Amino acid sequence: QVQLVESGGGLVQPGGSLRLSCAASGRVFNVMRWYRQAPGKQRELVASFISSSNTYYADSVKGRFTISRDNGKNTVDLQMNSLKPEDTAVYYCNGVHAGNDYWGQGTQVTVSS
């Protein structure tokens, strides 16, 4: 059974940091990504990891977020620094295997004073 389980969300003040983690089981994914969806908005790609030399970041998070992967543990993390209120969203872990997408249940991140 394929599962992606996110953790690490919560409430943080502007300028603060959070680290999201996604634990994958049942598959070794070719690509792992973090998406987010704010209320009333479409889900958007935040960051993706293919290898340590092949990562992608949305312009809105470049320089603030870092995606990393531990192949031994089959996890992918998203370190989020200098958080802004506009980063508030549900964050979803996504894994791609043989052309199929798999999703976690999401974790809420709220940036507010």
Count the neighbouring beta carbons within 10 Å of the beta carbon of residue 12: 18
- Residue labelled with tokens 């370190």: 79
Tens of pLDDT along the chain (113 residues) come to 889 999 999 999 999 999 999 999 888 888 999 999 999 999 999 999 998 899 999 999 999 999 999 988 889 999 999 999 999 999 999 998 888 999 999 999 999 99
Structure tokens at 74: 């089959």
Helix, strand, or coil (residue 109)? strand
| DSSP string computed for 11-67 | EE-TT--EEEEEEEES---SEEEEEEE-TTS--EEEEEEEETTEEEE-TTTTTTEEE
